[in-house]
Amino acid sequence: MANMINIPETCQPASIILKPKREKSLLNRHPWVFSGAIARTDGQPRPGDTVDVLTADGRWLTRGAYSPQSQIRVRAWSFDQAQAIDTGFFDKRLQRALDLRRQLLADTDTNANRLVAGESDGLPGLIVDRYDCWVVCQFLSAGTERWKSIIVECLDHLVPNLIGIYERSDVDIRKKEGLVPATGRLSGAEPPDQVDIRENGCRYRVDVKGGHKTGFYLDQRDNRACVAVYAKGADMLNAFAYTGGFAVAALRAGAAHVVNIDSSASALDLARTHVALNGLDSARVDHVIGDVFSLLRRYRADDRSFDVIVLDPPKFVNAKSDLMRASRGYKDINRLAFELLRPGGTLFTFSCSGLMGRDLFQKIVADAALDAGRHALILHWLNQSPDHPTALNFPEGSYLKGLVCRVV
C-alpha cells in the first residue's frame, strides 16, 4: 500500500546553497534562513519539504523546512546532520517540550499552559496550548503545515487526559507562508464553546474557538500573580482588560475595587462571568466598554485616581516602520496612567511588541513619568511566563515585557 500521508521520510532532501559569507547566523544556530541569503536551490522542493542548507563552498549547516513564498525561506529543524526529520524527531521534540512544562507546573493549581512555543522549543512555527483536557494548536509555517497530521498523532499519545485537539490557525502570518486560515477539530472530540480552566487558584472560562490567540493570555500567568501581591485593599484600573484576568487575580487577593476597560463587549461579558465564577462580589467591579486612550483622559478630567493601574495594550508594533507611532502610543497611555496614580501607587505596564526593545520601552515609561511630573521606581521587570521560553539563539522569541513602577 502507498503511504497515505505522502511524506518523503527517506528521499534525498533538496539543497539550498547560501551566498558566500551568509552562514554566520546559522552557525550561531539562529533557525531562520532569509531568501536574500540564498544563492541557489538544487532540486525542486515543495512547500514544507525538508531541505539541507549548505554554505557556498558546500559545507552542511542545517536541515529545515522549505517555504518558497516566505521571506523566511527555510526554518531549521535540526543542526545535527545525523538527525532525520521524521515521526521520531517530532515525538522527541514534543516530549522534551512537555517535560519542561510538567516540571514548571508541578504542585501548582494550574491546568492551562503553553506546551510548545515554536522556534524556542525547536519546532519553528508551532504553537500548542493546553486548556484542561483540550489542546489548541496553531500551525504558522509551511513546515508545520506539512507535518500537521504527524504532530497531531504525537500529541494524541503524549498529552495525558486529552479529550480533543483543535486548530486555531486563523492568523494573518499564515499568508506570508502561502497558507490560508484553518480552524476546526483535528482529533478526538470538538471542544465546547467555553472551557473552564484553573490558574493559581483563579478560575477562568476560555473561548478556545473564537477568543484571542488560542483563547487566553497564558503568557501573563506569572504577572497576574505579581499583580495579586500589590492588590490588597487597592482601587485598581485594569486597562485593556480582555476577559479580566488581572482583575480576578487582584480581587481574589483582596483588591477593594477594579475597573475593567476594554473595547470588546464580548470580552467584558466573559470578564463579568469570571467575577461570578470565582465567587467574587460584583459590586467590587465595573466593566467599561470603550477606548482606553479617551477614557483615561476622561478620568483625568474627572480627577479620578487609583492605587494600582495595569496597562496591557495589544501589539502596537507590527513592523519596524510602526515603531515611532507605537512609541507615541505607549508614551501617551503611560503618561496618563502616571497622572491617575495616587502617591505610593503602582503601575504595571506591558508591551507585547517583540520589535519594541526593553531599553526603548523603559525609556518611554521614564519619559512618560517625567511628563506626568511623577518620580517612580522600578520594582520588577516582568516577562512572559516560563512556559513561553526564549531560546538563547532566538531572541525574537522574547516579546512580552513589563515594568512594575512605584510612584514615590
* Residues making contact with ligand SAH (CB under 6 A): 217, 220, 240-243, 245-246, 261-264, 267, 291-293, 312, 314
**Cβ of residue 244: shortest distance to ligand SAH, in angstroms?**
7
Cβ–Cβ under 8 Å, residues 165 and 152: yes
Pairing of strands 14-18, 50-54: parallel
State which residue, 91 or 332, has the beta carbon closest to ligand SAH: 332
Which region holds residue 114: left if phi is over 0, alpha if psi is between -120 and 50, else beta? Answer: beta
- Total length of the chain: 408
Query: Considering beta carbons, is residue 265 or 301 the nearer one to ligand SAH?
Result: 265
199, three cell numbers = 490558574
* Shortest distance, position 264 Cβ to ligand SAH, whole Å: 4
Minimum Å gap between C-beta 311 and ligand SAH is: 9
CB of 246 to ligand SAH, least distance (A): 5
Torsion of CA 382, 388, 393, 394, to 10 degrees: -90
Q: Which is nearer to ligand SAH, 64 or 245 (CB)?
A: 245
Phi, psi (deg, nearest 5) at residue 79: -105, 15
Closer by beta carbon to ligand SAH, 306 or else 394: 306
Residue located via cell numbers 497558507: 179
Task: Work out the angle between the directed axes of helices 323-340 and 292-301 (0-180°, nearest 10).
Answer: 30
The pair phi, psi for residue 231, each rounded to 5°, is -90, -20
Distance CA 197, CA 219 (A): 15
Report in angstroms the alpha-carbon separations of 369 from 123, 223, 234, 345, 382.
40, 22, 21, 13, 18
Q: How far is the CB of 5 from ligand SAH (least distance, A)?
A: 37
Which three cell numbers mark 334? 503611560
Q: Cβ 314 to ligand SAH, closest distance in Å? A: 4
Residue among 147 and 217 whose Cβ is closer to ligand SAH: 217
Strand partners, 184: 167
Rounded to whole angstroms, the Cα distance separating 75 from 72 reads 7
Q: How far apart are CA 220 and CA 401, in angstroms?
A: 10
144 vs 223, which CB is nearer to ligand SAH? Answer: 223
CB closer to ligand SAH, 74 vs 195: 195
12: burial class by Cβ within 10 Å (0-12, 13-18, 19+)? exposed
Strands (E), 105-178: 112-117, 126-131, 134-139, 164-169
Active site residue 137: no
Query: Closest approach of Cβ 299 to ligand SAH, in Å?
Result: 13
Answer yes or no: are the C-beta atoms of 119 and 396 closer than 8 Å. yes
Active-site position among 137, 226, 352, 405: 352
Active site residues: 352
